[in-house]
Amino acid sequence: RENFIHLCNPHLEKMKEDILYHFALGTGTHDFPALFGDVKFVCVGGSPSRMKSFIAYIAEELGFASPGGDYPNICAGTDRYAMYKVGPVLSVSHGMGIPSISIMLHELIKLLHHAKCSNITIIRIGTSGGIGLEPGSVVITRQSVDATFKPQFEQVILGKTVIRSTNLDEQLARELMQCSKEINQFNTVIGNTMCTLDFYEGQGRLDGAICLYNEEEKLQYLKEAYDSGVRNIEMESSVFAAMCNLSGVKGAVVCVTLLNRLEGDQISSSHDVLVEYQQRPQKLVGYFIKKSLGKV
């Protein structure tokens, strides 16, 4: 059964051309079905360099790699986002925070619609701060919750507050968990992910330029988060989940934890250790894609 992207915007049908400004792509200048029609998996992450390394990794895993082969940035006409493609896999950077990933997702969802893609799975792979987990643990998100632990994304539209659901696809989460068990290389859990509006005060850190609370208050808040089911903290999952839900797309968030926030605020692991940690979501999602394509 073909499941196509659901666009919640009737105005798009009246437009002669749709310019995806932040991708430097447009329906009047590019053949979207020819460029992207075979895409089945989209992986998104904050860093352009990390998403380029992911496409090189998945090309090797799927047997698409060629000796000395390079992977051109499809969005080279802009410096906002980077996009790479190998076979049925699209790899896109989204920057940091809800506003940045939101802009990217609006244009990505329209791109997939214009390309007539069907049965799409979108997975965010990234880094996060863990709560009560050893650094290097991977968290598959059950629900994205806000800073008050509610599973919702709140946005002001035309002066009115709109609240949207942030549940993620349960079956997809279970499939990813099964893949991690089969790989058996690192600790993986399914848990809630808290999505905050900033990296410092919003996540209860003591090391920002501004901090008007004490360590005891910080630890009490993080323990309340843990007791509510939160296992990690990042800054993009809520709007990601909300937009996947509205577009009828299967979505998942897979993030590695770089530290245990109950034990500190600063990321102090060596560069080599952090690089290995950051490869864990790539390995898990890469294995999932290979398995989905019958290549395992």
Smallest CA-to-CA distance from 252 within 164, 186, 170 is with 170
174 is in an annotated binding site: no
Pairing of strands 41-45, 121-130: parallel
**Rounded to whole angstroms, how far apart are CA atoms 231 and 137?**
10
Given phi > 0 = left and psi -120 to 50 = alpha, else beta, which region is 215?
A: alpha
Pairing of strands 250-260, 230-234: unpaired
Q: Which value, in Å, is the radius of gyration of the alpha carbons in the chain?
A: 19
Residue 82 and residue 75 in contact, taking contact as beta carbons nearer than 8 Å: yes
80 is in an annotated binding site: yes
Which H or E run includes 10?
none
55 is in an annotated binding site: no
Pairing of strands 41-45, 152-157: unpaired
Two tokens at 157? 């539209």
126 is in an annotated binding site: yes
Question: How many C-beta atoms surround the C-beta of residue 177 within 10 A?
Answer: 16
125 is in an annotated binding site: yes
Q: What are the backbone angles phi and psi of residue 187, rounded to the nearest 5°?
A: -70, 130
Given phi > 0 = left and psi -120 to 50 = alpha, else beta, which region is 103?
A: alpha
Two tokens at 97? 């925070």
Report the first-to-last Cα separation within the chain, whole angstroms. 24
Binding region = 80, 124-127, 203, 205
Binding region for substrate = 203, 205
Binding region for phosphate = 80, 124-127
